[in-house]
Amino acid sequence: MITMVKPLNIAHRGFSGKYPENTRRAFLAAIDEGGCDGFESDVHLSADGEPVIIHDAALERTSNGAGMVGGCPFSTLRELDIGSWKGPEFAGERILHLEELLEIVLDHHIVLNLEIKNYEVFYRGIEEKVIGCIKALGAEKAVFLSSFNHISMKKCKEIDRTIRTGLLYEYPLLDAAAYARRHGMDAIHPQVSCLAYSPKLTGAAHKQGIAVNVWTANTEEEMRLCIEQGVDSIISNYPDKLGELLASQG
C-alpha cells in the first residue's frame, strides 16, 4: 500500500476568495477561518528598494493609487488603501513590508511561498533584498521562493544554495522535473491544468527529488486532482474549502 502524504494547504495571497488579496486581514483570516498551512504571496521593490507585498506591478487594480509600484517610495505606498476595491468594509488595509508578512508567518509557525515578481518589471537586486530580509529574521526554514523568471531562481541559489526555490510555469513543459533538477531547483510550480495534461508529472518529479506545488486550485474538481496525484502543496483562494476536502480524505 502506498502511503499518501497530506499536501500543504497554501492560501493564495491569503484568503483571497473572501478578503482583499495580500492584506493583513486576508492572511490572518486564512489562518483563523481557513486553517491553512501557509501563504502564497508576491513581492516587488519600491522606488527606495523596500520589498513590498503586492501582486501587480501597477497599482490601479488593487489600490486607490496609480502608476507603478517601483515608481513610488515605500512611504507613499504605505498610505494607499488596498482594501476598498474588494468592498467598503475592507477600507484602510495597507501594503505590507515583507518583514511584516514574515513576522506573521513566524508567529503562527506556518510556511510562505513567496513569488518574486521580476519578469514584468526587472528590479535590480531584488533577489539579494528578499533573501537578506528572510535571513535577517531567521525565516529560511519557513520560506520557499518561486518565480516565472527562472534565471532569477538560479540567481537565488547562487546567493544562498540553502534557499528553497521553485520554477513557476503555466503551460506544460517537456521534462519539467529534469529541467528543474538540472538547474539545482527544489520544486516545480505548475498551473493546475498541467496535471490533467501530464498525469504522471508528480510521480516523475518525486522520483527525482523535486517537489510539486500547484496553483491555483479553486474548484473541488481541481483540488481532488491535486490530491489524487499526490502533490506537495495546493495553492487555493479558498483555504477553508480545501481544508474541508483534505480532512474528508483522512
SS (H, E, C) the chain: CCCCCCCEEEEECCCCCCCCCCCHHHHHHHHHCCCCCEEEEEEEECCCCCEEECCCCECCCCCCCCCEHHHCCHHHHHCCCCCCCCCHHHCCCCCEEHHHHHHHHHHHCCEEEEEECCCCCCCCCHHHHHHHHHHHCCCHHHEEEEECCHHHHHHHHHHCCCCEEEEEECCCCCCHHHHHHHCCCCEEEEECHHHHHCCCHHHHHHHCCCEEEEECCCCHHHHHHHHHCCCCEEEECCHHHHHHHHHHHC
Q: Mark whether 55 is an active-site residue.
A: yes
Residue of 44, 55, 97, 189 marked catalytic: 55
Active-site amino acid positions: 12, 55
